[in-house]
Structure formats: C-alpha cells, structure tokens
Amino acid sequence: MKAATGVNAPERKRMGMVPLFDPEEGTTILSPDGKGPGYWKGACSALYDDETGKFYLYYRIRSPRPMRGGECRIAESTDGIHFSDVWFAKKEEFSTTSIERSALVKCLDGKWRLYISYVDPADNRWRTDLLEANDPKSFRPETRRKVLTAEDINGEGVKDPVVFIIGGMYYMILSYATKPVVQDEDKL
C-alpha cells in the first residue's frame, strides 16, 4: 500500500524514515459496545509497570448522545494485547454528563494517580480532578480533589490531561478552551 507521500512503508524504512501507521496492520484491543457513529472505546492512557510486570490501560466508553462518555475503566494485561478490567466508574459517580480523556500515572513514590477529566456539574464546563490510590484497582471517585477548573483559567474548560515524569519532575499537558470573544454591537 502506498502512503500519501508516494513512498510505501518498506521503502520509508529502507530510507531510514519512520514508517507510516497502517491501521489495517494493527491489532484491535477493545471493540465498541455498539455499531455506528458515536460508539467507541478510547481516549486511552497506557503504561507498563516494571514492579508488577503488567500493562495498564485507562479508557472511556462512549455511546451516541445523550449518553456520551458514560463510563471509564482501567484494565491490566501481561502481554499488552489481552486486557481484563480491574476498575470502573460511571458518570453518575461524578454527577456529570460526560467523562473525558484522563491520565493514569504511577508516581515515583509508588502511588497511583488518575487525573480525570469530566464535564463539571456546577457549570457544564470541563474540569480535571485527581484520584490517588495504592494500586489501580482502588481509585474512589468520592475522594477526588480539584486540579483545575474552567473558572480557574477564566475559560470554557480544561480537559484531556497527559502527564509525563521526566528527570524526577511531573509535567502535565491539558487541552483548554478560552471564552468566546463577545463583540460590542454598538461598535459594529
């Protein structure tokens, strides 16, 4: 199969270029619960834990509106292909209309964190909270603590965290939405 650049994957490899991703060569890990637009499992966060010798995968389950992001789960695997769920939470546990992408992290001290993003029931804007536990099976939504809200940034939301640990420092990247600019009608 030729890539959009006109150079196929084996040729790219021979030339020392990164091969393009071919989804037909991939392995499906999780399938959606339904067929058609709006059904999917994804918004993943994955990591390998040397201590347990297991892969851990956070994912959310999405259905068409009005359900949206109704549930999130953490699964574990010894081979990175076959996963078994070890934890889940439903959107009702966050009093939200939708759970978004979240970040699963094993901290340097051995504790586990789940930076969970969801629609804030207080104002219908995205927010990110923190759950902490001794293992990925023990997160409790009722113990969550605020990390960042839309109000904190004077915007429309903060969501979809990605967390990196580099050189002993924690770095978080978040998607955010600014407030729309309202134009003064008298000046138009």
pLDDT cut 90: percent of the chain above it: 70
Please check the confidence at residue 7 and state whether its pLDDT lies above 80.
Answer: no
Q: How far is CA 21 from CA 3, 26, 128, 144, in A?
A: 9, 8, 31, 37
37 vs 143: which has the higher pLDDT: 143
Please check the confidence at residue 138 and state whether its pLDDT lies above 70.
Answer: yes
Give 97-134 pLDDT, tens digit per residue.
999 999 999 999 999 999 999 999 999 999 999 999 99
| Average pLDDT score over the chain | 89
Please check the confidence at residue 142 and state whether its pLDDT lies above 70.
Answer: yes
Predicted TM-score (pTM) of the model is 0.84
Rounded Cα distance between 125 and 151, Å, is 9
Q: What is the mean pLDDT of residues 66-80?
A: 91
Residue 155, number of CB atoms within 10 A of its CB:
16
Give 10-57 pLDDT, tens digit per residue.
676 677 776 677 777 788 899 998 898 889 899 999 999 999 999 999
HEC per residue, 137-180: CCCCHHHCEEEEEHHHHCEEEEEEEEEEEECCEEEEEEEEEECC
Please check the confidence at residue 5 and state whether its pLDDT lies above 50.
Answer: no
